[in-house]
Amino acid sequence: MSSILKTNALESEAIYIFREVISQFDKPVLLFSGGKDSITLVRLAQKAFFPAKIPFPLLHVDTGHNFPETIEFRDKLVAELGLELIVRNVQDSIDEGKVIEETGRYSSRNMLQTTTLLDAIEEFKFDACIGGARRDEEKARAKERIFSVRDDFGQWDEKNQRPELFDLLNGKIENGQNVRVFPISNWTELDVWSYIEQEGIEIPSIYFSHKRKVFLRDGMIWSHSPFVYQEEEEAVEERIVRFRTVGDMSCTAAVESYAATIAEVVGEIRTSTISERGARIDDKRSEAAMEKRKQQGYF
C-alpha cells in the first residue's frame, strides 16, 4: 500500500497560520460566533494540533440576541471537543453603563459588541484573536492582513499595515498591542461551504431552509423576534427561509430558500447573485460602513 497525501493550498495555509499563532503569541484566543466560518476555524485548529487538543480557548461575545439554535450548537461543539469556552455578554456592558442600547427602527447590538470584545481582550490579556473574516466578504476586508496589528485601543490603521511576503508572518508586538489573525482570509464563501461538505462538518440548523415568522422591510426579510424592532404595520408572515450568515438576530436578514442540504446550499450560492454581506443589514448603512467599524476595533 502506498498512500500519498495531497492537501489543498487553502487548507494547508490555514493550518500553517494556526501553528504560527501558537508559536508567536503567549495568549491566543479564537473568536467564536457560532457561524459557519468560526465552526470551520475550529475544524482547522483541530487539524493543526492533532493529536493534541486545541491549545487555546474560544471566546464568544454574546449579544443576548443570538439565534437560540446557535447557542445550542455552540455548547454541544464545546462539550464534544472538550474545549474551553469563555462567554462575555453585551448585556453586562450595557448594565455597567459602558455602552448605550440603540433604539428605533434599525437598532442593533451588533456595534455594541466591540466594547465587550475589547474589555475581554484586556481582562484576559489576549495577544492574538483568531477570527473567521474573509477578504472576499467586503471591500474593506480585501486589504486586511493575515496578522493584523491593533493598538491599545483596538484600532486598525489601514494605511500603516505590515507587508506580508511569502509565508513569512511577523507577529512581533509591543505590550498592550494585540493581533487579529485571519486563517481563512483567502477563502471565499463557496470555499467554506465546499469544505463543510468535504469534511462533513455539522453546522447550526438555521443555515438550512426552515419555516420562520418574518416581516419584510427595505426588500429584506427580517426575523420576527422580541429582539428585532418592528413597526405595527409591518405584518408578520410565515416563509420558507434560511440564513447565509449568522450574526445578531437584529442585523441578519434571511433569504427565501428551499436548500435543505449542503449540496443544495452550494448550488444556490452558485446561482445566487446577491453577495453574502448583502444580507447584513448593518453593512447597508453606508458603503464605507465596514471600514469605519473596523478602524474602531470591530471584528
> Smaller CB distance to other proteins: residue 142 or 235?
142
In the complex, minimum distance from the CB of residue 232 to other proteins, in angstroms, rounded to a whole number? 26
In the complex, minimum distance from the CB of residue 235 to other proteins, in angstroms, rounded to a whole number? 17
In the complex, minimum distance from the CB of residue 28 to other proteins, in angstroms, rounded to a whole number? 12
The amino acid at residue 127 is D
In the complex, minimum distance from the CB of residue 259 to other proteins, in angstroms, rounded to a whole number? 8
Distances (CA, A) of 141 to 104, 133, 134, 170, 185: 29, 8, 7, 19, 9
The rounded distance, in Å, linking the Cα atoms of 221 and 200 is 29
Q: Which residues of 77-101 are buried (b: 16+ CB within 10 A; e: fewer)?
A: bbeeeebeeeebebbebbeeeebee
> Smaller CB distance to other proteins: residue 62 or 276?
276
Q: C-alpha grid cell for residue 52?
A: 493534541
Q: C-alpha grid cell for residue 222?
A: 427580517
> Smaller CB distance to other proteins: residue 17 or 120?
17
The rounded distance, in Å, linking the Cα atoms of 21 and 26 is 9
> Smaller CB distance to other proteins: residue 84 or 92?
84
Pairing assessment for the beta strands 237-243 and 254-256 based on DSSP bridges:
antiparallel
> Smaller CB distance to other proteins: residue 82 or 97?
82
The rounded distance, in Å, linking the Cα atoms of 94 and 76 is 28
Q: C-alpha grid cell for residue 214?
A: 418574518
φ/ψ of 254, rounded to 5, equals -90, 165
> Smaller CB distance to other proteins: residue 105 or 139?
139
The rounded distance, in Å, linking the Cα atoms of 214 and 223 is 5
Q: C-alpha grid cell for residue 257?
A: 430558500
In the complex, minimum distance from the CB of residue 22 to other proteins, in angstroms, rounded to a whole number? 6
> Smaller CB distance to other proteins: residue 102 or 164?
164
In the complex, minimum distance from the CB of residue 66 to other proteins, in angstroms, rounded to a whole number? 25
In the complex, minimum distance from the CB of residue 19 to other proteins, in angstroms, rounded to a whole number? 4
Q: Are 297 and 151 in contact (CB under 8 A)?
A: no
